[in-house]
Amino acid sequence: MTTSIIRDTPHDGAPSHPDGDAAPEDDPAPPGRLFYTPWRDHPVPLTGLLDDVRAWLDRTESWLASRRGGHPAPSPEHAADPPPHPERAAPQTDTRGTPAPGSPRPASGYGPGPRPPVPYAEAGAAPYGELEYAWGRREAGRALDIAAACGELTGAGERFVAESRARMRAACAAAPPVPDELDRLAGYAAEDHRVLWRLRHLRPDPAAVESLTRAWISATPRPAHRPGEPLVVPAPRPLPPNARLALLSLRARARVPRAPLPPYVTDADLRYAEGEHAEALELYRARIEADPADLGAWAGLTMSRRPHPHQALARVPELVHAVHRRIDDLTARAPDPEALAAWLRPALPSGPGTGEDG
């Protein structure tokens, strides 16, 4: 698929299209752009994004077929609790998605294969199937929209996107209704994943961070111009698994985690998963005060404000975090994260999801 649906962009000449389509001479798409995919915790090239959509469609169609036949797929033995160890690291890449020398390189060339978006839920069991389906139906269409708008598809790639949309419509028409509570949990999980991904892998415009920082410190009006697009810069090291997603997957299956819990599961995460959002909010605030670099706490703070989060934290958490850190660096007095988010709201870039398409 890689050699037929994505434009080849060699370094020694103009971009070419393997299927015969002519590339425009002023093609703005740089080689090696990286993208957000809801099925992975690290950025991937466009091939990875499309392969993940295809993998979700394959899993969804298999799940629907197993439901019709009454024979769900077997469940893995390790599905009972949150994972005990940090997730495996993605291959180290430069900003163009090229694996660094010495890093593992799977046959696909861009990283580990897709895994269930909610860690270690029971594959094939009805709550798991519904949760993954509810997650994917929200995110797969968005991923296809990003692919269609990126300017890197060949004619064959455009046909692949159109066929994937048709498969998605058919799957959604054939799928049973998702219970409201499960759909709500899937929405929270998808947003949590996206917020943490942005905090880890997006770097906001440095000039905007500096000007906003200076305005906050001097109590002067915010700069009139809006920040530019953030850059995708893959994080050099993986974080521990997202405890909130693991706990939500257990909640969706009406199960409780077994003691002892892994050390990365905090009281804030447990309160959040139990729906005690006000209590979780205060605990995440305390974690940020103790360690402003705690990205999991920033994502938890954002999610604990659901269903009415601060717009800046929900849309551009990386900008709020960067300005917060810069103010702390210059003054040794870190601002209140939510007060800063409210102050930054008028400076939000136009349009949702900026920075997630390379």
pLDDT tens-place values along the chain, 358 residues long = 444 555 543 322 222 222 333 223 333 334 468 999 999 999 999 999 999 999 999 999 999 998 887 554 443 333 333 333 333 333 333 333 333 333 333 333 333 334 444 433 333 344 558 888 999 998 999 999 999 999 999 999 999 999 999 999 999 999 999 899 889 889 999 999 999 999 999 999 999 999 999 999 999 998 888 888 899 999 988 878 899 988 888 887 777 677 678 888 999 999 999 889 999 999 999 999 999 999 999 999 999 998 777 889 999 999 999 999 999 999 999 999 999 999 998 877 665 555 676 6
Amino acid letter at 126? A
Is the same domain home to 95 and 220? no
48 lies in some domain: yes
With contact defined as beta carbons under 8 Å apart, do 47 and 9 qualify? Answer: no
Residue 75 CA to residue 212 CA, distance in Å, equals: 50
pLDDT at site 240: 81
pLDDT of res. 159: 95
One domain, residues 243 and 334: yes
Domain shared by 255 and 284, yes or no = yes
**Is residue 86 one of the residues assigned to a domain?**
yes
DSSP secondary structure code for residue 22 in this structure = P
Q: Of 179, 205, 230, at which residue does a domain stop?
A: 179
Residue 289 in any domain: the answer is yes
pLDDT at 357: 66
Same domain, 85 and 99: yes
Q: Is 335 helix (H, G, I), strand (E, B) or coil?
A: coil
160/220 same-domain check = no
Angle at 142 between CA 141 and CA 145, to 5 degrees: 90
174 and 208 housed in the same domain: no
26's CB contacts (< 8 A; 6+ apart) are none
Domain boundary among 128, 150, 179: 179
Q: How far is CA 206 from CA 135, 287, 320, in A?
A: 33, 26, 12
* Residue 358 within any structural domain of the chain: no
User: Are 131 and 267 in the same domain?
Assistant: no
195 and 50, same domain (yes or no): no
Domain final residue, candidates 152, 179, 206:
179
Q: Identify whether 23 is part of a domain.
A: no
Q: Is 44 in contact with 32 (CB distance < 8 Å)?
A: no
Residue ranges making up the domain that contains 174: 2-10+28-104+113-179
Instruction: State the pTM of this model.
Output: 0.77
Q: Do both 78 and 222 map to the same domain?
A: no
Q: Are residues 131 and 217 in the same domain?
A: no
Structural domain tally of the chain?
2
Is residue 91 in some structural domain? yes
Instruction: Identify whether 32 is part of a domain.
Output: yes
Query: What distance in Å separates the CA atoms of residue 154 and residue 48, rounded to the nearest whole number?
Result: 16
